[in-house]
Amino acid sequence: MKKLFDLLKKTFKGLDIGLREVSTSLIEKELEEIENIFALLTMGTFAGIPSPPTGIILRILPFMQKEIFVMIKRSKSLDDAFAETAGMFDID
């Protein structure tokens, strides 16, 4: 009985995690995209993208590690952007 109860508990927990993942995956993707845009806008000066006045960049630069990380990660996967989008929408 206890074993069955544990199994059910595990199953529901797994289901809960799965559903939570599904429900937030699109928002997380969007979040990552906006973070990437934010990084590109503020760090774009290094890549020739029109950038805000240097003062703003210098002020927020020390706190940009997450955005820079996302930007670098995104730029690495740019050549496979189509596969990424397809994966996102479960297209095989």
Partner 1 sequence: MDIYFFLGKGGVGKTTISASFSVGLAHYNKNKKFLIASLDPAHNLGDAFDIELSNKIKKITDNLFAIEVDLEKMIKEYLNDLATNMRNTYKYLSSFNLDRYFDILRYSPGIEEYAVLESIKKFLNSKDYDGLIFDTPPTGITTRVLALPRLTLLWSKRLMNIRRKILDRRKMVENVKGKTEAIIEDEVITLTSDEKEDQIMIELVKYNKEMEDLMNIFQSSLTKINIVTMPEDLALFETKRIIESLNNFDIKVNNIYLNKYLICDNPPEVIKGKIIEQDRVTEKMRNEIKNINIKDIPLLSQSPRGIEELIKFYDNYLMI
Q: What residues line the site for partner 1 (CB under 8 A)?
A: 20-21, 23-24, 27-28, 30-31, 34-35, 37-38, 41-42, 45-46, 52-56, 58-66, 68-69, 72
**Least Å from the CB of residue 9 to partner 1:** 19
| Cα(85)–Cα(87) distance, integer angstroms | 5
Residue placing its CB nearer to partner 1 in the complex, 56 or 83: 56
Full DSSP string of 59-84: HHGGG-HHHHHHHHHHHHTGGGHHHH
Residue placing its CB nearer to partner 1 in the complex, 3 or 65: 65
Residue 32 contacts residue 4 (beta carbons within 8 Å):
no
